Amino acid sequence: MFNFFSQSVKDSQEVLDKGPAKTKQSLWKQLGKAVAGKAYVDEAVLDSLEELLISADVGLETTVKIIERIEQRVARDKYLNTSELNGLVQEEIMALLEEQETSNTAFSTSASPYVILVVGVNGVGKTTTIGKLAAHYQQTGKRIILGAADTFRAAAVTQLQQWGQRVGATVVSKGMHTDPAAVAYDAVKAGIQAQADVVIIDTAGRLHTKVNLMQELYKIRRTISKCLPGAPHEVLLVLDGSTGQNAFVQAKAFTNATNVTALAITKLDGTAKGGVVIGISDQFQVPVRYIGVGERVEDLQVFDRQAFVASLLGNA
Ligand code: GDP
Ligand code: MG
């Protein structure tokens, strides 16, 4: 395992704070409004809290769990002060997320090259996330190969090539409308030959039908594993955090169809819906590994639950 995000905790916290800022503001403000003029946490306060968690896209299932936990606290302590509510919500959300046994450690094998297959629907930020990741790896002296296996969409190959140029990574491509599995195979082969540390493979987010997409991903995986047994070592599903419930639907579809090992949730900079990260962390047994907080190369963070929840509630 190597730690490629060499930023200090403080730096990463700063970027994180810029990320879900709108969420932070609205959750914090609304919580304030809900408790205004009330000394103790009562039914009405809990109703407001429930509403605002749902409006932040935490999702119904996870919201209900959080509210139930707080109700239990209120039942124990009838005169729970509203000023303690924010801290309590943070505590309960953290406790809930900590119950997930998922480890958030990248590079859990010493495989070389380490092959990452990146999947997700169109426009969620796959190629951008690959570019950001490649930049980070490159900065730590890792040798990177990118595979342009999104051969379906017009600008996809060019976009990855531009990222490759920008970060100094080799891009393996066979052009548009070529067989994505063959591109993936060649990328892994090139990775082995060049003794690369990491091979990252981009894929299409849309084919003619959803079934096609899942079948194609299956074929890509099988082909990769023929080239390098045990690969891909990571299947990274990218979700657009600003799409709220859609992100849940996509997480479900992809985790059902393929063995997703990690999640990247993007676009948390421009959304009031950062709660989606909490809901998804709670409901899927797949760790959130990265969050995207902007379009720049440095706008990718290793996900830190504690910092994220604190930031979301305005306690960072
Ligand atoms: P793909 O179709 O999944 O490969 O998505 P792209 O990587 O092409 O990204 C689609 C758009 O989302 C581009 O305009 C990106 O710049 C933008 N994007 C990606 N990640 C983020 C992010 O974290 N924040 C913001 N604001 N935009 C992002
Ligand atoms: Mg793309």
Per-residue pLDDT of the chain (316 residues; tens, 9 = 90+): 233 333 333 344 445 555 555 554 556 666 777 778 888 888 988 998 999 899 888 999 999 999 999 999 999 988 888 888 888 999 999 988 887 655 656 666 678 899 999 999 999 999 999 999 999 999 989 999 999 999 988 799 999 999 999 999 999 999 999 999 999 999 999 999 999 999 999 999 876 666 688 899 999 999 999 999 999 999 999 999 999 889 999 999 999 988 999 999 999 987 666 889 999 989 998 999 999 999 999 999 999 888 888 888 877 6
Ligand found nearest the CA of 160: 2
The rounded distance, in Å, linking the Cα atoms of 145 and 226 is 18
Distance 122 CA to ligand 2 centre (A): 7
Dihedral angle over CA of 316, 88, 21, 132, nearest 10? 70
Residues with CB under 5 A from ligand 2 (ion): 126-127, 156
- Exposure pattern of 35-47 as b/e (b: 16+ CB <10 Å)? beeeeebeeebbe
Residues with C-beta less than 6 Å from any ligand 1 atom: 120, 122-128, 205, 238, 266-267, 269-270, 292-295, 299
Strand 300-302 and strand 288-292: the pairing is antiparallel
pLDDT of residue 14: 47
Q: Nearest C-alpha to atom 28 of ligand 1 is from which residue?
A: 295
Q: Which of 237, 248, 291 is nearest to 17 (CA)?
A: 291
Q: Nearest C-alpha to atom 2 of ligand 1 is from which residue?
A: 123
pTM: 0.89
The rounded distance, in Å, linking the Cα atoms of 37 and 16 is 32
pLDDT of residue 183: 98
Q: Which of 256, 257, 277 is nearest to 266 (CA)?
A: 277
Distance 229 CA to ligand 1 centre (A): 31
pLDDT of residue 1: 29
The rounded distance, in Å, linking the Cα atoms of 152 and 206 is 8
pLDDT of residue 85: 87
Distance 290 CA to ligand 1 centre (A): 14
Q: What phi and psi values does residue 199 have, to the nearest 5 degrees?
A: -120, 125
Q: Which of 218, 229, 248 is nearest to 119 (CA)?
A: 218
